[in-house]
Amino acid sequence: MRRRSHSGWAWVALGLLVAALAVVAAGCGGGDEEGEASTEIEGLGSSLEEIQANAQEEGEVNLIQWPGYAVLTDEFTQKTGCKVNTKDGTTSDDMISLLQSGAYDGGSFSGNATVRLMTTGDVVPIDTEYITNWDDIQEGIKNKDYNSRDGQPYGVPHGRGPNYLMFRTDQVPEDTDSWNVIWDDDQLEKYKGKISIYDDSIFIADAAVYLKATQPDLGIDNPYQLTQEQFDAAVALLKKQAPYVGEYWPGDVVKQIQSYTNGDSVVGTTWPYQYVELQKANAPVAIVKPKEGTTGWSDTWMVYSQAEHPNCMYLWMDHMASPEAQAAVAEAFGEAPVNLKACDLTKNTNHCDEYHADDESWWDDVYYWTTPSEDCADDDDSTTCKTQADWQAAWTEIRG
């Protein structure tokens, strides 16, 4: 008897805890503060000389990066006195919550992070006067909706690339040039349990890209801004694919590289970084931008609005735009540089051609990551699209 009443108390206590939390949550309601969009960062020097002097005092810079992005860090430290600390992000959502933790000075963000960060005010416009390499950056990549607002740049472009279809050449025909290998019924059956898929809600856009090409009736224009009907079609396609997927890689490049090396994965989506690493290891893999087009990213270094080391961060953004750093990172990650002066410095003299750095038409069917939004990110008031939150909820369901 006694024991029974004790167990009862434990449940009552849990119930009370929940109730107390609810009260606290309700009490705190209404106190939400909007991210104030200040354009200035505290402590930033007001001339390049002052920034350089301040940087010597700051002595370090804390960066969030996509794996492999920060290059020539020793040279940077020697020149500026700023020690470089990096933290790898796995998804754009991951990088946003890292930046909002307040422990970092900035990072290299993709479009689906930048538009949100500009909205919340976690990043601020930059003064390009202090970016000595600014004029050398391709004009076509400046002033895009994912790196600027009202003509005001919010960061320094880093480089761009597509999400490729990668496959093992000993398992998949070498002339494969279509995404159908990971979407069509008979192909799925063939590669069952050996398909490798990026584990993030943004992958819904990859399904949308395929539907855009194969089911024009759906009328998909922008694979990130989907109406209910288009969204349902993409989710259905992904749910059909799910049982055949061998591995979802959550931005964990090591895991995917290991799978392709061992042959546990033979086909799927990848970043060029994994391909470059696999090539170094002599794994029989190939990448292709399929004929349907693909998703991709055009990344930007941005500075946190409350950065602790803004001076070092400014110098870092400039450093990453320099021909030397651009050449190094373009080859290390396997992407197209945005400063074409880098093309003379790459070890592989054809790198810029192979990665289409200067061939704008090649990028026409590369849809850069951006954030789904209710207004479809257009001026047409009559349409509504599924939001980022909807994508996220759907992704959990797709994964099952």
Partner 1 sequence: MTSVSLGEASPRQSPGRRLSTFLYRHPRVRLWSLLALPVLWLGVVYLGSLLVLLVSAFWTSDPFTAKLVHEFTLDNFRRIIESPVYRDVAWRTIKMAALVTIACAVLAFPLAYYMARIASTRVRNLLVVAVLMPLFGSYLVKAYAWRTILSAEGAINWALDPLGLEFNGYSNTGLWLVFTYLWLPYMVLPVYAGLERIPESLLEASADLGGRSVRTFFSVTLPLVFPAVVAGSIFTFSLTLGDYIAPVLISSDQFIGTVIYREYGTALPVAAAYAFVPIAVIVGYLLVARKLKAFESL
| Contacting residues toward partner 1, per CB under 8 A | 3, 6-7, 10-11, 14, 18, 21-22, 24-26, 28-32, 35, 91, 93-94, 96-97, 100, 116, 119-120, 193, 199, 201, 245-248, 250, 252, 255, 258, 262-264, 371, 373-374, 387-390, 392-393, 396-397, 399-400
State the amino acid at position 315 in one-letter form: L
Q: How far is the CB of 27 from partner 1 (least distance, A)?
A: 9
Q: How far is the CB of 338 from partner 1 (least distance, A)?
A: 26
Query: Which of residues 53 and 389 has its CB atom nearest to partner 1 in the complex?
Result: 389
Q: Which two tokens stand for residue 181?
A: 């290998």
Q: Where are the alpha helices (DSSP H) in the chain?
A: 2-28, 48-58, 73-80, 92-100, 111-120, 180-183, 185-190, 204-214, 228-241, 253-262, 272-280, 310-321, 323-329, 351-354, 388-399
What's the CA gap between 107 and 53, in Å, rounded? Answer: 22
Q: How far is the CB of 117 from partner 1 (least distance, A)?
A: 8
SS3 110: coil
Q: How far is the CB of 116 from partner 1 (least distance, A)?
A: 5
What's the CA gap between 158 and 329, in Å, rounded? Answer: 9
Query: Which of residues 34 and 129 has its CB atom nearest to partner 1 in the complex?
Result: 34
Query: Which of residues 2 and 347 has its CB atom nearest to partner 1 in the complex?
Result: 2
Nearest alpha carbon to residue 244 among 96, 56, 400, 387: 400
Q: How far is the CB of 26 from partner 1 (least distance, A)?
A: 4
Q: State the Cα angle at 167 between 391 and 176, rounded to 5°.
A: 95
Query: Which of residues 65 and 73 has its CB atom nearest to partner 1 in the complex?
Result: 65
Query: Which of residues 53 and 393 has its CB atom nearest to partner 1 in the complex?
Result: 393
Query: Which of residues 17 and 53 has its CB atom nearest to partner 1 in the complex?
Result: 17
The dihedral of CA 89, 91, 96, 98: what is its sign? Answer: negative
Q: How far is the CB of 247 from partner 1 (least distance, A)?
A: 6
Nearest alpha carbon to residue 283 among 297, 262, 314: 262
Structure letter (DSSP) for residue 46: S
Q: How far is the CB of 348 from partner 1 (least distance, A)?
A: 31
Query: Which of residues 100 and 222 has its CB atom nearest to partner 1 in the complex?
Result: 100
